[in-house]
Amino acid sequence: MLTLRINGDAKEFSPGQVVAGVMGWELIHPPSEAFLRLVWYTQGRGDQDVNIAEEQELPANQLAVEQTFQFTLPAAPYSFAGALISLQWAIELVLNKGKDSLRIDIVVSPWTEMLKLSSVEMK
């Protein structure tokens, strides 16, 4: 079982803000490798882009782990959602080359909510 929790269950953050929380796992077999990542990724009509903004290597080869974490969010890019493409930030716990993973999506924006791009005429 994997655990990933942001303090206060907050989902919306400003650029430069610190995101802190708790993460860990309890498994039958210890993971061969484990990483906690702050990432952004795109979704939409085209191919997906994924960028690792920060990565923390975690102590692998342990059956159970629980520890706090924190990331300082970068200045950009902002989260946004449009008809053709959206950009989302997330914190993800990735074990065993992605065979076990858990992700929390967050919004990184200087405004109070995700920027929504208005629709344009599509042909």
Partner 1 sequence: MTTACENPFRTSRLHALEYRLAGVSWEQIMSRLAGLGYRAAVVGAHGHGKSTFLRALGPRIEELGLRTHRLFLNEERPRFDSGFLRELAERLTPSDVILLDGCEQLGWWAWRRFMRITRRAGGLIVTVHTPGRLPALYECRTSPDLLADLMRALDAESWGGDDKLIERLFDRHQGNIRDVFFALYDRMARGEVG
Summarize as ranges the residues that interact with partner 1 (CB under 8 A): 42-48, 81-86, 88, 116, 118-119, 122
Half-sphere exposure of 14 toward its Cβ, with a 13 Å CA cutoff? 5
86 vs 101 by CB, closer to partner 1: 86
- Nearer to partner 1 (CB atom), residue 8 or residue 48: 48
DSSP 97: G
Residue 104: strand pairing partners: 91
Return left, alpha or beta for 52; rule: phi > 0 is left, psi -120 to 50 is alpha, else beta: beta
Q: How far is the CB of 65 from partner 1 (least distance, A)?
A: 26
Q: Which is nearer to partner 1, 3 or 42 (CB)?
A: 42
For tokens 């059956």, name the residue.
Answer: 63
Closest approach of partner 1 to the CB of residue 99, in Å: 10
